[in-house]
Amino acid sequence: MPPWLTNPVVDRISSLGIFEDAPHGINHCLINEYLPGQGIMPHEDGDAYFPVVATVSLGGSLVLDVTEKRIVDGDVAAEDAKELKRWRILQEPRSLLLTTGSAYTDTLHGIAEITEDLNLGPETVANWSLLGDLGAIEANGGCNTRTDRISLTYRDVKKVSNVASKLFGKTR
Amino acid sequence: MSIPFGAAALVTSSFIVVFTLTSAFTRLFFVVRCTHFQAINRRGQTYWKMGDNVSPDLLQQRQIPDLPPNMFYIPNFITEDEEQRILDKVRTIKQKRSSVTYSTCLMYITDSRQPLDLPHTPPPAINPCSTHSKQHSSRLVKNATLADQPRCRSHIVSGDF
């Protein structure tokens, strides 16, 4: 990874110790741009990754929707199942969101394709008490107008090519 | 009489040497840490003390309540200057790559200093409530391997984008 992606972010994430058990440490970064109105359907991250994800948000804020994952007859329950638990997480610019454990394995996450996140408050946003700038949302009547957001997603890709490993050796 | 005295002197001198070395290392460690903190503070980093061993407590304080364990949220993880630097870099890369017109989706993997353009952002054809399709993954693998082979030591075999 280039230095501008590792310094200072990777060093700081590493110092938290959350990637301590990861076989390679942070070896992968995905950069996504979300324009207003863009989102991503609820999904889970595959088992190609070590089950820790660190997401750094840049630019604008948006709400990440987290849904309980329930297996019904060997398949994941439909998205609109009413009994599923749901949470909303507001991701502010410059913030870090870490997901691991059951939150990684037993939930789905997605982003609604909307231009405004409405009805934001202590009752509806799971991380309300942890937000850095409550004033901005409160002043806007619990509404977040989306702007361009770039997310940096840092992970440990568990599986690497056998050919590459033989040619270059394991990374760690 | 001389033997016990010699032994005592040897033990004493050994103790002094060990003590001096330990003390020196401790001081050196302390100085390095302090210098590091000062450097961080000078950059205006108020929320984060990089290098400080406060992670477990910090994470406990930052755990998002009510969710399955564990999700942590840390606001102001980077400064505005650091954010701007990264944004500038991403925009520069985006401008250089005329093929990326819709939005940006770039991937870096170990030892890769050049970005790999991914087909879409966000992936449009993901089945709801399921992991991403294997077909999608293998297409990315092909791209990654071909584009980044010279610089990359690890290649993704399967993935979730």
Q: CB–CB of B154 and A12 under 8 A?
A: no
SS3 assignment, position B27: helix
A88-117 residues touching B, CB cutoff 8 A: 89, 92-103, 106-108, 111
For A144, the domain range is 3-168
- B110 — contact with chain A (CB < 8 Å)? yes
> Domain ranges in chain B?
2-46, 52-77, 80-148
pLDDT tens-digit map of B69-103: 999 999 999 999 999 999 999 988 888 765 444 45
* Banded model confidence at residue A89, pLDDT cuts 50, 70, 90: very high
pTM of the model: 0.68
pLDDT tens-digit map of A129-167: 999 999 999 999 999 999 999 999 999 987 665 544 554
Q: For B155, what's the count of Cα atoms within 13 Å in the CB-facing half-sphere?
A: 24
- Number of domain units in chain A: 1
Q: What is the ipTM of this complex?
A: 0.90
**Tokens coding A154:** 């840092």
Residues in Cβ contact with A62 at an 8 Å cutoff, skipping those fewer than 6 apart: A34, A90, A91, A111, A117, A144, A146, A149
Q: Distance between CA atoms of A93 and A19, rounded to whole angstroms?
A: 22
> Minimal Cα distance from B54: which residue of A?
A16
CATH number for A128: 2.60.120.1520
Q: Distance between CA atoms of A141 and A130, rounded to whole angstroms?
A: 18
Q: What is the CA radius of gyration of chain A?
A: 17
